[in-house]
Amino acid sequence: MDAAGATAVDQAEGLPPPKTLVDWALQILDTADPDEKARLGDLAATQWLRGAIPLPYDPAQSPRAPPDRPARSDAVRLLPPSRMPKLGKGGSAQSRLAMLHSLAHTESWAVDLSWDIVARFGAQLHMPREFFDDFARVAQDEGRHFAVLSARLRELGSHYGALPAHDGLWDSAMSTSHCLLARLAVEHCVHEARGLDVLPTTISRFRAGGDEQTAKLLEDIIYPEEVTHCAAGVRWFRYLCLRPRTSDPIIHPIPESKPQSSELPESGTAIIKRFHSIVREHFRGPLKPPFNTEARKAAGFEPAWYEPLAVKEAETQTIEPREV
Binding site for Fe ion (CB under 5 A): 107, 110, 142, 145, 226, 229
User: Which is nearer to Fe ion, 163 or 196 (by Cβ)?
Assistant: 196
User: Which is nearer to Fe ion, 225 or 302 (by Cβ)?
Assistant: 225
Amino acid at 238: R
C-alpha atoms less than 13 angstroms from C-alpha of 145 in its C-beta half-sphere: 29
What is the DSSP pairing of strand 78-79 with strand 165-166?
parallel
Residues with Cβ within 8 Å of residue 55, at least 6 apart in sequence? 19, 20, 21
User: Which is nearer to Fe ion, 143 or 209 (by Cβ)?
Assistant: 143
> Helix 34-49 vs helix 93-121: angle between axes, to the nearest 10 degrees?
50
Q: State the minimum distance, in angstroms, from the CB of residue 141 to Fe ion.
A: 6
Q: State the minimum distance, in angstroms, from the CB of residue 150 to Fe ion.
A: 12
Closest CA to 189 of 281, 302, 318: 302
User: Which is nearer to Fe ion, 46 or 316 (by Cβ)?
Assistant: 46
Q: State the minimum distance, in angstroms, from the CB of residue 134 to Fe ion.
A: 12
Q: N- to C-terminal Cα distance for the chain?
A: 36
Q: State the minimum distance, in angstroms, from the CB of residue 225 to Fe ion.
A: 7
Q: State the minimum distance, in angstroms, from the CB of residue 25 to Fe ion.
A: 16
Residues with Cβ within 8 Å of residue 287, at least 6 apart in sequence? 190, 194, 279, 306, 309, 310, 311
Q: State the minimum distance, in angstroms, from the CB of residue 194 to Fe ion.
A: 11
User: Which is nearer to Fe ion, 25 or 110 (by Cβ)?
Assistant: 110
User: Which is nearer to Fe ion, 142 or 219 (by Cβ)?
Assistant: 142
**What is the C-alpha separation between 91 and 97, in angstroms, rounded?**
11
Q: State the minimum distance, in angstroms, from the CB of residue 200 to Fe ion.
A: 15
User: Which is nearer to Fe ion, 9 or 232 (by Cβ)?
Assistant: 232
Q: State the minimum distance, in angstroms, from the CB of residue 232 to Fe ion.
A: 9
**What is the C-alpha separation between 303 and 286, in angstroms, rounded?**
14
Cα angle 187, 189, 191 (rounded to 5 degrees) comes to: 50
User: Which is nearer to Fe ion, 107 or 116 (by Cβ)?
Assistant: 107
Q: How many CB atoms lie within 10 A of CB 314?
A: 7
